[in-house]
Structure 1
Amino acid sequence: MSRNIFKLFFLTSITILCSQLLFAQKTIVSGSVIDAKTKEPMPFVNVIFKNTKSGTTTDIDGNYRIETYYASDSLTVSFIGYNSQTKKVRQDQSQVVNFEMSIGGGVELGEVVVTYTGNPAHKILDRVIDNKAINNREKYDAYEYEVYNKVEFDLNNISDEFKDRRVFNSLQFIFDYIDSTSSDKEYLPMFMTESLSDYYYRRDPKAEREVIKGTKVSGVSNESISQFLGDMYQNVNVYENHIGVFGKSFVSPIADFGKRFYKYYLIDSMVVDGNFCYQIEFVPKQAQEPVFSGTMWINDTTYAIKRIEAGINEQANINFINGFTVEQRYKKVDGEFWMLSKDNLVVDFTITKNSMGLYGRKTTTYKDFVMNKPRPDATFEGVEKVVVQKGANEKDEEFWDKNRHDSLSENEKNIYLMVDSVKNVPAFRTFIDVVQLVFTGYKEVGLFEIGPYFNAYSFNKVEGHRFRVGGRTSNNFSTQVMFDGYLAYGLKDERFKYGGGVLYFLSKEPRHSVSFNYSLDVEQLGLSQNAFSEDNILSSVLRRNPNDKLTGVEEFKLGTERFWFNGFSNTLSITNRTMKPLGSIRYNKSLDDGSLSSVSSIRTTEVGLKTRFAYQEAFVAGEFDRISLGTEYPILELNMGFGLKDVFGGDYNYTKVALSVSDNIKLGTFGRTEVKAQAGKYFGTLPFTLLEIHNGNETYFFDNAAFNLMNFFEFISDEYASLMMTHHFEGFFLNKIPLMRKLKWREVVTGRAVVGSLQDKNKAVLELPNNMYELTGPYAEAAVGIENIFKIIRVDALWRLTYLDHPDIAKFGIRATFEIQF
Structure 2
Amino acid sequence: MQILKKGFFFLSVLTFSLLSLNAIGQSTKVRGKVVDSKTKQALPFVNIAYKGTTIGTTTDFDGNYFLETRTPGDSIYISFVGYKERIFAVQKGKFQTLNVELEAETFDLQEVVVVPGENPAHVLLRKIIKNKKKNNPSRFKSFQAETYTKMEMDLNNIKEDFKDKKIMRQFQFVFDYMDTSVITGKPYLPIFITESLSDYYYQDKRRVEREIIKASQMSGIQDNASLAQFTGQLHQNVNVYDNFIDLFDMGFVSPIADGGLRYYKYYLTDSAYRDGNWCYHMSFKPKRKQEPTFVGDFWVADTTFAIQNMQMRIAKDVNLNWVKDLVSNNEFQKLNDSTWFLKKQNLFVDFMLTERDSTKQMGFFGRKTVSYKNVEVNVPLKEEIIKLDNNVIVNEDALSHPPEYWNDARPYQLSERESGIYAMVDSIQNVPLYKNIVDVVTTFITGYYVHGKFEYGPYYKLYSFNEIEGNRFMFGGRTSNEFSTKIMLNGHLAYGTKDEKLKYGLGFLYMINKLPRETFGMQYKHDIHQLGKSPNAFTEGNILASLLKRNPNNKLTMLNQFETHYEKEWFQGFSNTLKFRYRDIKPTEFVPFEDRIGNPISRITTSELELRTRWTKNEKVVMGEFERVHLGGPIPIVNLYLTMGMKNVLGSNYDYQKIDLSVEHTFELPPLGNLYFLASGGKLFGKVPYPLLHLHEGNETYAFDPYAFNMMNYYEFASEQYASLFVEHHFNGLILNRIPLFRKLKWRTVVSGKGLIGKLSDKNNGSLANTEAYMRFPDGLSDVSKPYFEASVGIENIFKFIRIDAMWRLTHLDDNPYQDFEDFGIRAMLQITF
TM exceeds 0.5? yes
1:161 aligns to what SS in structure 2? helix
In the alignment, which of 783, 790, 808 is matched to residue 799 of structure 2? 790
Output the amino acid matched with 2:490: D
Distance 1:185 1:663, change over 3 A: same
Report if the CA contact (8 A) 1:289-1:317 is conserved.
yes
Q: Residue 405 of structure 2: SS of its match in structure 1? A: helix
Instruction: Give the equivalent residue in structure 1 for 2:164.
Output: 164
Which residue of the other structure, out of 268, 273, 277, is the alignment partner of 1:266? 268
- Give the CA RMSD over aligned residues: 1.6
Q: Is the 8 A contact 1:518 1:555 kept in 2?
A: yes
Q: Distance in 2 between matches of 1:385 and 1:705?
A: 29
State whether residues 168 and 427 of structure 1, in contact with CA within 8 Å, keep that contact through their aligned partners in structure 2: no
Whether the 8 Å contact between 1:566 and 1:619 is mirrored in structure 2 is: no
Residue identity in the other structure for 2:280: Y
- Give 1:229 deviation, angstroms: 2.3
Quote how far apart the aligned CAs of 1:202 are: 4.1
Which letter maps to 2:214? K
SS at match of 2:433: helix
Q: Is 1:222–1:622's contact at 8 Å kept on the other side of the alignment? A: no
Q: Can you list the C-alpha shifts for 1:69-102, whole angstroms capped at 9, x where unaligned? A: xxxxxxxxxxxxxxxxxxxxxxxxxxxxxxxxxx
Contact 1:567 1:618 in 2 (8 A): no
- For residue 621 of structure 2, the aligned residue among 599, 619, 644 is 619
Using the TM superposition, name which of 483-492 and 133-142 deviates more.
133-142
Q: Does 1:358 align with 2:367?
A: no
TM-superposed CA distance for 1:142, in Å, is 4.0
- The reply to whether residue 708 of structure 1 matches residue 714 of structure 2 is no
> Residue 181 of structure 2 contacts residue 188 of structure 2 at CA under 8 Å; is this kept in 1?
no
Residue 748 of structure 1 corresponds to which residue in structure 2? 750
Q: Which runs of structure 2 are paired with 1:717-796 in the superposition (5 Å)?
A: 717-763=719-765, 764-796=773-805
Q: What is aligned with 2:813?
A: 804
User: 2:391 & 2:781 partners in 1: Cα distance?
Assistant: 49
1:667 match: 669
Whole-angstrom distance in 1 between the partners of 2:226 and 2:128: 38
Show the counterpart of 1:505: 511
* 1:688-699 equivalences in 2 (<5 Å): 688-699=690-701
Aligned length: 707
Is the 1:550–1:583 Cα contact (8 Å) retained in structure 2? Answer: no
Note the C-alpha offset of 1:225: 2.9
Map of 1:247 onto structure 2: 249
Residue aligned with 2:180, SS: coil
Alignment of 1:370-519 (within 5 A): 370-519=376-525
Deviation at 1:397, TM superposition (A): 1.1
Deviations 1:768-821 (A, max 9, x none): 001111113100000001000000000000000000013311010011111101
Q: Does the 8 Å contact 2:729/2:751 carry over to 1?
A: yes
Deviations 1:214-249 (A, max 9, x none): 111111343343222222222100000000001111
Is the 2:605–2:651 contact (alpha carbons within 8 Å) kept by the matching residues of 1? yes
Equivalent residue, structure 2, for 1:539: 545
- 8 Å contact from structure 1 (residues 526, 696) kept in 2: yes
Instruction: Provide the C-alpha distance between the structure 1 equivalents of 2:224 and 2:668, rounded to a whole number of angstroms.
Output: 30
User: Structure 1, residues 321-379: CA drift from partner, whole Å, max 9, x if none?
Assistant: 00000001112113331011011110001111422111001111111223444343333
Whole-Å separation in 2 of the counterparts to 1:270 and 1:710:
67
- 1:754-779: per-residue Cα shift (whole Å, max 9, x none)? 00011111122100001111113100
Give the superposition deviation at 1:114: 9.9
Q: Given residue 230 of structure 1, which amino acid in structure 2 is its aligned partner?
A: G
Match of 1:81 in 2: none
Query: Do 2:616 and 2:635's aligned partners in 1 also have CA atoms closer than 8 Å?
Result: yes
Secondary structure of 1:392's partner?
coil
Q: Would the aligned equivalents of 2:673 and 2:732 in 1 still touch at CA under 8 Å?
A: yes
CA shift at 1:618, angstroms?
1.6
Q: CA deviation at 1:203?
A: 4.9
Letter in 2 for 1:425: V
Answer yes or no: is the 8 Å Cα contact 2:389–2:516 preserved in 1. no
Distance in 1, matches of 2:509 and 2:334, equals 53
Contact 2:694 2:718 in 1 (8 A): yes
Matched, 1:313 2:315: yes
Which of these residues, 284, 288, 291, is aligned with residue 289 of structure 1?
A: 291
The answer to whether the 8 Å contact 1:549/1:583 transfers is no
Amino acid in the other structure paired with 1:568: F
TM-superposed CA distance for 1:256, in Å, is: 0.4
Q: Which amino acid aligns with 2:321?
A: N
AA matched with 2:675 = T
Q: What amino acid sits opposite 2:409 in the alignment?
A: N
Match of residue 12 from structure 2: none
Q: Which moved more, 1:144-153 or 1:505-514?
A: 505-514
- Note the alpha carbon deviations across 1:151-195, whole angstroms, 9 max, x for none: 000000112232222222211111121112635111000001101
Q: Which residue of 2 aligns with 1:821?
A: 833
CA distance in 1, matches of 2:209, 2:581: 41
Alpha carbons of structure 1 residues 372 and 761: separation in structure 2 relative to 1, 3 Å: closer
Question: C-alpha deviations, 1:513-546, integer Å up to 9, x for none?
Answer: 1111110000111111101112111100111111
Q: CA deviation at 1:402?
A: 1.2
For 2:720 and 2:238, the matched residues in 1 are separated by: 47
Give the Cα separation in 2 of the matches to 1:509 and 1:633: 21
Q: Is the 8 A contact 2:304 2:338 kept in 1?
A: no
1:131 corresponds to 2:131? yes
> TM-score normalised to the size of structure 1?
0.84
Q: Which amino acid aligns with 1:756?
A: G
| Matches of 2:702 and 2:469, distance apart in 1 | 22
1:548, 1:583 within 8 Å by CA — same for their partners in 2? Answer: no
Aligned match of 1:578: 584
Call closer, same or farther: CA 1:167–1:583 in 2, change over 3 Å: farther
Partner residue in 2 for 1:213: 214
TM-score by length of 2: 0.83
Q: CA deviation at 1:504?
A: 0.9
Which deviations, in whole Å up to 9, do the C-alpha atoms of 1:377-406 show, x marking residues without a partner? 333223423222222122111211111111
Structure 1 SS opposite 2:126 = helix
Structure 2 counterpart SS, 1:393: coil
Return 5+ residue gaps in structure 2 as ranges: 1-112, 766-772
Q: Which residue of 2 aligns with 1:187?
A: 188
Decide whether the 8 Å contact of 2:226 with 2:625 is kept in 1: no
Kindly state the Cα deviation for residue 200 of structure 1 after the two structures are TM-superposed.
2.7
Report the 3-state secondary structure (helix = DSSP H, G, I; strand = E; otherwise coil) of the residue aligned with 1:176: helix
2:660 equivalent to 1:651? no
**2-side partners of 1:582 and 1:295: how far apart?**
69
Q: Deviations over 1:446-487 (max 9, x none)?
A: 110100000000000000000001011111111111111000
Say which SS state the counterpart of residue 179 (structure 2) adopts.
coil
Gaps of 5+ in 1: 1-112
Query: Which whole-Å CA distance do the structure 2 matches of 1:546 and 1:137 have between them?
Result: 59
CA 179–677 in structure 1, closer or farther in 2 if over 3 Å, else same: same
Partner-residue secondary structure (3-state), 2:652: coil
Deviates more, 1:152-161 or 1:662-671: 152-161
Q: Secondary structure at the match of 1:670?
A: coil
Q: Which has the higher contact order (CA 8 A, sep 6+)?
A: 2
* Alpha-carbon distance in structure 1 between the residues aligned to 2:393 and 2:137: 22
Partners in 1 of 2:543 and 2:208 — Cα distance? 50
Shift of 1:628: 1.7
Deviations 1:612-657 (A, max 9, x none): 1121112121111112232111000001111111111111011011
Q: State the partner residue of 1:238.
A: 240
Secondary structure of the corresponding residue to residue 789 of structure 2: strand
SS of 1:588's equivalent in the other structure is: coil
